[in-house]
Structure 1
Amino acid sequence: MSVADLRRWRLNSQSLASGTADVVAGGVAGAVAATQRLLAVQAQDYPASKWALGARSPGTTAAHVEEALNTGLIVRSWPMRGTLHLVPAHDLHWMLRLSTRRLVIGAKTRQAQLGLTEQILEAARALAVDALTGGRELSRADFLALLESRGIDTGEQRGYHLIWFLAQTGTLCWGRQVGTQQVLVLLDEWVPDARTLEGDEALGEFALRYFTGHGPATLADFAGWSQLTLTDARIGLAVARQDLVEFSVDGVSHFLLARYDTGTRPRQRSAIMLLPGFDEYFLGYRDRSAVIGPADEQRVTPGKNGIFRPLVVFEGRIIGTWRKRASAGAIRVTAELFRSFTGRQQAGLRRCVLDYGRFLGVEPILVPAPAAPS
């Protein structure tokens, strides 16, 4: 498989190609299908995570994504890497069981620095269960106020860590969106019909779902994305192997869902795509050299401080970044390409900005970009 073929098939797996199988266009079902395909969509930037689903399901709007979240079809929590993601609701429990032990052990030093003893953590859990049982919900601010009223200090990031710990250990998750914020609910009440997967079966499902939504990708890509140990990643790949096909790209083994017809040549859905920051097309791989050069990669992650800028994608390659600014019922979009615009790219960019405005339900305005660096 050539590098160009790899890009084409990643577009297909990521639901960014024309005619991608299993993609439902538009509506709540589209948002759910896109999440199901990727398994986990990074969601520390909440608006960006919603656009990640909209970009993969033409016709889906921000309101549709919010409805999927408000009805518990998609859940926002910390299923892996200690980072917020959107996941299909019925998959969250087994993902937590795979990731929680290592992450909680890794957090013990930080807990000690914050003075969060096991007694305090379990007292917070008891308060959460008592306050939320029976379908009740609390905003973040109200939950932290409850903890403070019972003598639990939430300052100096203790509040964030307490919510993270209770979500990571399966007590809490984010529920409905109320205004611009989500409220906290009890996970077992919000997702009562969770899938039960254990051990090697869960590892195999993790691997299969990763390569379904991200392939062609390598074992190292999967291990980096999931943050499983390399041993567990290998077990997962071995369990899923019967459903995957192996390709060599520049001498490195890559895996792709076997049922795809690799005799076809997928194409990007439109000439230009605007993808959000923290998007899986960039973040979902340890090795990103197939889609961006090292100098340009630094422009996506300036300062390497954990911030991933929104992406401009042309024929599978990342060719720039973009930014937005909301104002009085409109959204102003400015693209900054790494090289000079072509006429085709300009026309594609205008269509993308219109699509983004439709997704948000506001007037889109394309701001003329500054000249690209030579």
Structure 2
Amino acid sequence: MPAARPAAAPREMSYLRIVAQGFVPATTAPDAVEAVRRLLAVQGQQVSAVAHALVVRAEDAGGPDVDAAFETGRLVRSWPMRGTAHITTAADHHWLRVALMHRTDAWTRSSEQRLGIDDSVLARAADTALGLVAERGPVTRAALVSAWVDAGLIPATEAAGSLATGAGRRRHLIVRLHREGVLAQGPRRGNEHLVVDARSLPGAQTGPGGTGGGARGTGGHRAALAEIARRYATSHGPVSAADLARWTTLPVRECLQALEDAVEVTTAAGYQVDLATARVPLARATVRGGLRGAVDVLGAQGVVGRQGRASQDSSSSVAPSDRARVRYLRADLPELLASSRRAAGRTLFLPSFDELHVGYKDRLCLTDAAGEALICPASNGMFRPLLVDRGRLVAVRPVSEGLLWLGGQAPSARLEHDVERVVGHVQRRLAQV
């Protein structure tokens, strides 16, 4: 018997996510650094897509403003979670990395056993890298690898190739020293971010985990995970525990606990609400009704239907059997959508690997299997830039192929015009001087 097709998620959930992610005037960030801080981490696998992801979420920011944030050290690129590069603020980098570093322990052990890397090799690699940066300032990966070759740490045959396709010690040492907090990436030159010394960034103990840095096994670990969940639900909601697990690689059970902790913290008496920094209470919701369905917000916020209005729902508790259906979101999101519905439905031009797509396990509110195939046709991890209209994927825009419509052709002249307009607008912002 063929596997059952997954049920469509309400388009309304996509509208809510668009508002939460900062694509409407009510939630847009004042600058690129604040946009990243609200999201906590932004996928940065494709360097050329980073500025695009930030300018569409930041009021009046342009490509040069994003470059300046990296140049001055306010933003960094590294591997603070998962095996994928992410952008974080300097303030969030170390505590986030420390809170999730245990999730790569298995990779570290197996890779280092296979590659013959031990603590002495790591120490020599770190000393060589830090010495090079101290002498020259931010350096390219090629210069770093060359220094490791000269030090006899990796064979010259492994020095060639890109970080994404190379094998052996070269890639492992780069990622591992970023994961250990020795190195990070800062100023951009061409299509890469230069390697910098990460030790000067705010320490993990300055984060929500306190003196222990939030590492697993310390007293602050649970608080650090709750802050990750809070920031994720606020900026990505509505989200499930499975979505957070996909985003962080934490087990679903831990993600559910972290999200519940975040709700408890943000709804406690005395919680300091600050709308300017998206520091707001969280709420729970459930989803029903397929693509034309609704998001039922539990408690005072009520039900968000197709018109974005909230109606009363007296139940704020969820039975254990229903926990898989629970979504978490900022409690004021229904009202924000109600006042921003027209803006939320406008045409968006988003980069490859945008958080509106890759930031979730369940993406059915944004697109279906046909849309996923258009975004990533070879299933090889290479994603195309997106065009979204009225909460749904309508096209992709690969650089080498031009616009490709879902279904083969534009559904209307209005949409063709709006796509052309928004693409031109984003391109002008990226090229601002």
* TM-score relative to the length of structure 2: 0.75
Matches within 5 A, 1:274-289: 274-289=349-364
Amino acid at match of 2:105: V
Instruction: Give the SS at the match of 1:63.
Output: helix
Determine the structure 1 residue equivalent to 2:384.
309
Counterpart residue number, 2:196: 185
Task: Give the letter for the 2:369 counterpart.
Answer: P
Give the CA RMSD over aligned residues: 2.3
Q: Give the drift of 1:192.
A: 6.5
> Does the C-alpha gap of structure 1 residues 173 and 212 become closer, same or farther in structure 2, counting only changes over 3 Å?
same
Higher relative contact order (CA 8 A, sep 6+): 2
Give, in whole Å, the separation in 2 of the partners of 1:231 and 1:248.
Answer: 18
Answer yes or no: is the 8 Å Cα contact 1:175–1:190 preserved in 2. no
Change (3 A) 1:194 1:278: farther
Give 3-state SS (helix, strand or coil) of 1:334's partner.
coil
Q: Does 1:254 align with 2:323?
A: no
Q: What code does the residue aligned with 1:236 have?
A: A
Distance 2:136 2:91 in 1: 18
Q: Distance in 2 between matches of 1:56 and 1:157?
A: 37
Counterpart of 2:250? 228
Gaps of 5+ in 1: 25-29, 326-332, 363-374
CA distance in structure 2 between the partners assigned to 1:38 and 1:67 by the alignment: 19
- 8 Å contact 2:47–2:191 — kept in the other structure? no
Residue 371 of structure 1: aligned partner = none
CA distance in 1 between counterparts of 2:420 and 2:375 reads 21
CA distance in 2, matches of 1:274, 1:178: 24
1: CA distance, partners of 2:203 / 2:224: 19
Partner of 1:122: 123
Displacement of 1:219 in angstroms is 1.0
Runs of 5+ in structure 2 lacking a partner?
1-8, 159-166, 215-220, 265-280, 289-321
1:95 alignment partner in structure 2: 96
Structure 1 residues 203 and 269: CA distance shift in structure 2, 3 A:
same
Moved over 6 A (4+): none
Residues 88-167 of structure 1: matches in 2 within 5 Å? 88-133=89-134, 136-153=137-154, 155=158, 156-167=167-178
Instruction: Confirm or deny: 8 A CA contact 1:312 1:335 kept in the other structure.
Output: no
Equivalence map 1:9-24=2 (5 Å): 9-17=16-24, 19-21=25-27, 23-24=29-30
Tell me the distance in 2 between the aligned counterparts of 1:14 and 1:194.
Answer: 28
The structural deviation recorded for 1:104 is 3.4
Superposition pairs of residues 1-374 of structure 1, within 5 angstroms = 3-17=10-24, 19-21=25-27, 23-24=29-30, 30-133=31-134, 136-153=137-154, 155=158, 156-191=167-202, 195-196=206-207, 197=209, 198=214, 199-242=221-264, 243-250=281-288, 252-262=325-335, 264-265=337-338, 266-267=340-341, 268=343, 271-324=346-399, 334-339=402-407, 340-341=409-410, 342-361=412-431
Please identify, of 251-260 and 272-281, the stretch whose mean Cα deviation from structure 2 is larger.
251-260
Higher Rg of the two aligned structures: 2
Cα 1:110–1:244 shift into 2, 3 Å: same
Structure 1 residues 346 and 263 mapped into 2: Cα distance closer, same or farther (>3 Å)? closer
- Distance, in Å, in 2 between the alignment partners of 1:152 and 1:285 is 38
Report the CA distance between 1:123 and its aligned residue: 1.7
Q: After TM superposition, give the deviation of residue 233 of structure 1 in Å.
A: 1.2
Cα distance in 1 between the residues matched to 2:327 and 2:192: 40
**Residues 348 and 194 of structure 1, relative CA distance in 2, 3 Å threshold:** farther
Q: How far is 1:261 from its partner?
A: 4.9
Following superposition, the deviation at residue 235 of structure 1 comes to 2.6
1:273-312 deviation line (CA, Å, top 9, x unaligned) = 1111111111011011111112221221223211222111
Q: Which has the higher strand share?
A: 1
Letter in 2 for 1:97: V
The 8 Å contact of residues 271 and 344 in structure 1, kept in 2 or not, is answered as no
- 1:11 is displaced (CA, Å) by 0.6
CA distance in 1, matches of 2:136, 2:38: 29
SS of aligned partner of 1:323? coil
SS at match of 2:253: helix
SS of the aligned residue for 1:292 comes to coil
Matched residue of 1:137: which SS? coil
**2: CA distance between counterparts of 1:309 and 1:90?**
30
- Contact 1:211–1:257 under 8 Å retained in 2: yes
Question: Does structure 2 retain, via aligned residues, the 8 Å contact 1:37–1:213?
Answer: yes
Q: What is the SS of the residue equivalent to 1:281?
A: helix
> Scaled by the length of structure 1, what TM-score is found?
0.86
